[in-house]
Amino acid sequence: MSGRMWSKSRQTLGKKRTAIPTILGTFTGLAFGGLLGMSQGMKKIRQELPKDSQLLSIIEENEQLKREEMNQSLGNVLDHRNQK
Q: Are residues 39 and 55 in the same domain?
A: no
Domain region containing 80: 50-84
Q: E strand or H helix at 46, and its extent? A: helix 20-48
pLDDT tens column, 56-69: 999 999 999 999 99
pLDDT tens column, 14-28: 666 678 888 888 999
Cα atoms in the Cβ-side hemisphere of radius 13 Å centred on 19: 3
Q: Are residues 44 and 3 in the same domain?
A: yes
What is the three-class DSSP state of 81? helix
**What total of structural domains would you count in the chain?**
2
Q: Are residues 42 and 55 in the same domain?
A: no
Q: Are residues 24 and 55 in the same domain?
A: no
Q: Are residues 33 and 23 in the same domain?
A: yes
C-alpha 33/C-alpha 27 separation (Å) is 10
Q: Are residues 56 and 33 in the same domain?
A: no
Q: pTM, whole model, 2 decimals? A: 0.53
- 37 vs 75, more confident: 37
Q: Are residues 23 and 57 in the same domain?
A: no
C-alpha 8/C-alpha 16 separation (Å) is 13
41-49 contacts, C-beta under 8 A, 24 or more apart: none
Structure confidence at residue 55 (pLDDT):
92
